[in-house]
């Protein structure tokens, strides 16, 4: 199978990312188990456009991961699998979505619970060891600039204007609790917690502290 250049639609010859909007056969194909094969062909030809060209369910048996990892149910992973590093004893629950983007590292013994959406915007995310990423957490590492005309990938490129990326680093023994949002540029130091529903706005949480709220602020020292 040949995958067309995602920027030039083979049907309408317009420039747009999701060319399969004009091609029902392509849309059906991406839902089959053969997507891994298509992805390999695509990686060989157009690696730079991989993120937004296809949105596959990846067969987790094709992932490279450490020892004793567990993947439960359907997990959506988009991007270049060579930039996804998964350590030992990692657990990823059903309905997690990971955008690999410029690179995602998941350290040993880390658990990502259902409905978490990891690395939105396709920058770089580093998750250390023993991290708990609770249900519904969103970690964002890039996106459209808020002052541009449109902020969606489906808008014409000239109206989307500038995009940006800023990496997120989560050190060891961190827990990001249910429904929290971590925005680009954030850094959570070892042993800290982001309380349920918190929004961390690109700040650095020092070690062993509990932060929460919108925007997230210091609540107390852990163990205090
Ligand atoms: C972080 C958390 C554990 C805090 O527990 P705690 O230290 O026992 O907190 P407390 O209930 O004693 O409250 C301490 C203060 O933090 C505030 N606070 C507690 N949870 C908060 C939250 N999610 N956001 C903002 N503030 C919060 C309280 O209002 C209280 O403030 P006050 O002193 O001004 O009244 C808890 O709020 C939380 O987020 N739980 C979610 C657990 C979870 O997601 N589990 C998923 C499975 S791992």
Q: What is the pLDDT of residues 105-123, one digit of tens each?
A: 999 999 999 999 999 999 9
Higher pLDDT, 211 or 69: 211
Q: Which residue has 């567990």 as its token pair?
A: 70
Residue to probe by mutation, ligand 1, list 136, 137, 177, most atoms within 8 Å of CB: 177
pLDDT at 136: 98
Same domain (yes/no): 96, 168: yes
pLDDT band of residue 13 (cuts 50, 70, 90) is low
For residue 58, pLDDT beyond 70: no
Distance 142 CA to ligand 1 centre (A): 28
Same domain (yes/no): 104, 37: no
pLDDT band of residue 144 (cuts 50, 70, 90) is confident
Is residue 224 situated within a structural domain?
A: no
Q: Which domain holds residue 158?
A: 58-218
User: Of ligand 1's atoms, which has the minimum distance to the CA of residue 175?
Assistant: 48
* pLDDT averaged over every residue in the chain: 79
Distance 106 CA to ligand 1 centre (A): 26
- Strand 217-221: give its sheet, edge to edge: 70-71, 91-92, 111-112, 132-133, 175-176, 193-194, 209-212, 217-221
Distance 195 CA to ligand 1 centre (A): 6
Of the candidates 114, 153, 155, the residue with the CA atom closest to the CA atom of residue 132: 114
pLDDT at 62: 58
| Any atom of ligand 1 within 6 Å of the Cβ of 193 | yes
Same domain (yes/no): 90, 176: yes
Is residue 173 situated within a structural domain?
A: yes
Distance 177 CA to ligand 1 centre (A): 10
Same domain (yes/no): 46, 130: no
For residue 28, pLDDT beyond 50: no
pLDDT at 39: 45
Is residue 223 situated within a structural domain?
A: no
pLDDT at 188: 98
Same domain (yes/no): 35, 71: no
Q: How far apart are CA 196 and CA 216, in angstroms?
A: 10
Q: How far apart are CA 183 and CA 15, in angstroms?
A: 30
Q: How far apart are CA 89 and CA 101, in angstroms?
A: 23
User: Of ligand 1's atoms, which has the minimum distance to the CA of residue 193?
Assistant: 1
Same domain (yes/no): 105, 1: no
Same domain (yes/no): 23, 100: no
Q: How far apart are CA 80 and CA 210, in angstroms?
A: 34
Q: What is the three-class DSSP state of 52?
A: helix
Same domain (yes/no): 8, 71: no
In order of 89, 141, 170, 175, the CA distances from 191 in angstroms are 19, 21, 10, 8
Same domain (yes/no): 120, 212: yes
Same domain (yes/no): 27, 74: no
Same domain (yes/no): 135, 201: yes
């Amino acid at each position: 199978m040949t995958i067309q250049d995602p920027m030039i639609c083979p049907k309408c010859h317009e420039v747009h990312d999701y060319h399969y909007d004009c091609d029902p056969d392509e849309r059906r194909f991406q839902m089959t188990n053969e997507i891994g094969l298509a992805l390999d062909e695509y990686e060989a030809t157009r690696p730079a456009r991989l993120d937004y060209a296809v949105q596959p369910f990846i067969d987790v048996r094709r992932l490279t991961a450490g020892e004793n990892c567990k993947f439960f149910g359907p997990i959506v992973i988009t991007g270049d699998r060579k930039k996804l590093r998964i350590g030992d004893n990692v657990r990823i629950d059903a309905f997690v979505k990971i955008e690999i983007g410029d690179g995602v590292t998941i350290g040993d013994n880390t658990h990502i619970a259902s409905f978490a959406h990891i690395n939105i915007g396709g920058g770089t995310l580093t998750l250390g060891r023993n991290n708990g990423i609770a249900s519904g957490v969103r970690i964002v590492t890039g996106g459209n600039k808020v002052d541009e005309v449109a902020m969606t990938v489906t808008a014409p490129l000239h109206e989307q204007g500038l995009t940006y990326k800023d990496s997120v680093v989560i050190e060891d023994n961190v827990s990001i609790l249910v429904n929290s949002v971590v925005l680009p540029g954030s850094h959570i130091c070892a042993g800290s917690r982001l309380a349920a529903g918190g929004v961390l706005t690109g700040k650095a949480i020092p070690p062993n502290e509990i932060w929460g709220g919108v925007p997230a602020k210091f609540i107390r020292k852990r163990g205090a």
